[in-house]
Amino acid sequence: MRKNWLYCIGLTALFLLSGCDNHQRDADSALILEGRTMGTFWRVSLAGVSPDRREKLQKQVQQRLDNDDRELSTWKPESVISRFNRYRGSEPQPVSDNMADIVTLSLRIGQKTRGEMDITVGPLVNLWGFGPDKQPIRIPSQAQIDAARALTGLQHLRVIQRSEGAYLQKDLPDLYVDLSTVGEGFATDHLARLMEQEGINNYLVSVGGAVLTRGKNAQGNPWKVAIQKPTDKENAVQARVDLQGHGISTSGSYRNYYELDGQRISHIIDPETGRPIQHKLVSATVIATTALEADGWDTGLMVLGEEKAKALALREHLAVYLIIRQGNGFTTWMSPQFNAFVLP
């Protein structure tokens, strides 16, 4: 069956689960490990690995992901980032190389999206109820939005590299760094590294909406990742890609939202207006050298909306796939770089 070698990158959590059931049942010669982390699911599919290794690998994966969570999670008061957010001074704070890497890349993508991807958007995320704070009971006032916006800005955050290690520094005491948008990609890259360290060359690793593959699947074919149609309950595939060792990540506006005063409130915030995005771009999928990069870009593209996202993809030569709402249906767009990964 074809589904044997299809891995589904779902466009909703539901798709992610239901869409991949067959994969798990049918792929008897692949070793499949699964678990939960960062409020989402992780999955590892391995080819040519003895089932005897299952237990140890399961533990190692969970440990690696739990470590990342302890560094990056704004939901955990004792995480490294939460402690940095609580710190009110402007002295450089020592951080791990991991943390320096994720912030450096996030700042770079932030600059290239002219601040649309902004990891300092935390106060706005919290104001709109998508952070550890509760959901608001009414739409925040302009004054509240302005006050939260005044606490954001990439220019207030710096990574300092010294011979003895890396540091983070802020020049705004209330700056609140939210790495949620890049966490899944970052963790996915870590799982890939773990597999390499374990001498495993044929793997598909995935955390939430980010996936990275290397080598071949259990049938000896390239791993294939399916992008699902956003509305299709029958598991229909919108496009199918061979990642050729790259990472892929999808960000969508329909996955995480609530309704308030008749408005649909998305968890992706436009840092310029301080309000949740409202345009017709349903999802942005990016393929990049690392899952972290893909995960950083997809959010920026979502904020930009259809036209600006296309322009950015072309300007930066990104491999991008967009799904756009049109009437009751959807249209899609892909950049030439993305096209190179698409399977017939």
Question: From the list ligand ADP, Mg ion, none, which binds 166 (C-beta under 5 to 8 Å, kind-based)?
Answer: none
3-class DSSP state of 274: coil
Binding residues for ligand ADP restricted to 10-49, rule: CB under 6 A: none
30 vs 292 by CB, closer to ligand ADP? 292
Is residue 293 close enough to count as binding ligand ADP by CB under 6 A? no
Instruction: Name the percent of the chain in helix, strand, coil, to the closest 5.
Output: 35, 30, 35
Least CB distance to Mg ion at residue 299 (A): 4
Instruction: Please identify the residue of the shown chain whose CB is closest to the bound ligand ADP.
Output: 181
Q: For residue 179, which of 85, 286, 246, 92 has the smallest C-alpha distance?
A: 85
57 vs 287 by CB, closer to ligand ADP? 287
Least CB distance to ligand ADP at residue 222 (A): 25
Least CB distance to ligand ADP at residue 219 (A): 29
Query: How many Å apart are CA 65 and CA 56, to the nearest integer?
Result: 14
State how beta strands 165-170 and 93-95 pair: antiparallel
Question: From the list ligand ADP, Mg ion, none, which binds 255 (C-beta under 5 to 8 Å, kind-based)?
Answer: ligand ADP
Least CB distance to Mg ion at residue 318 (A): 13
Give first-to-last CA distance, the chain, whole Å.
17
Question: From the list Mg ion, ligand ADP, none, which binds 130 (C-beta under 5 to 8 Å, kind-based)?
Answer: ligand ADP
Binding residues for ligand ADP restricted to 255-284, rule: CB under 6 A: 255-256, 267-269, 271
Is residue 130 close enough to count as binding ligand ADP by CB under 6 A? yes
Tokens coding 260: 């308030």
Least CB distance to ligand ADP at residue 165 (A): 26
Task: Give yes or no for a contact between 69 and 76, defined as CB atoms under 8 angstroms apart.
Answer: yes
Question: From the list Mg ion, ligand ADP, none, which binds 140 (C-beta under 5 to 8 Å, kind-based)?
Answer: none
Is residue 112 close enough to count as binding ligand ADP by CB under 6 A? no
Is residue 304 close enough to count as binding ligand ADP by CB under 6 A? no
Is residue 123 close enough to count as binding ligand ADP by CB under 6 A? no
Task: Give yes or no for a contact between 19 and 226, defined as CB atoms under 8 angstroms apart.
Answer: yes
Interaction mask 49-68, ligand ADP, x per CB under 6 A: --------------------
Length of the chain: 344
160: Cα within 13 Å, side-chain hemisphere:
13
3-class DSSP state of 160: strand
Chain-centroid distance of CA 299 in Å reads: 8
Query: How many Å apart are CA 94 and CA 165, to the nearest integer?
Result: 7
Interface residue list for Mg ion (CB under 5 A): 181, 251, 295, 298-299
Backbone angles phi, psi at 292, to 5 degrees: -60, -45
What SS3 string covers 22-40? Answer: HHHHHCCCEEEEEEEECCE
Binding residues for ligand ADP restricted to 239-258, rule: CB under 6 A: 251-252, 255-256
Interface positions with ligand ADP (CB under 6 A): 116-119, 121, 125, 130, 178, 180-181, 184, 208-209, 251-252, 255-256, 267-269, 271, 295, 299, 303
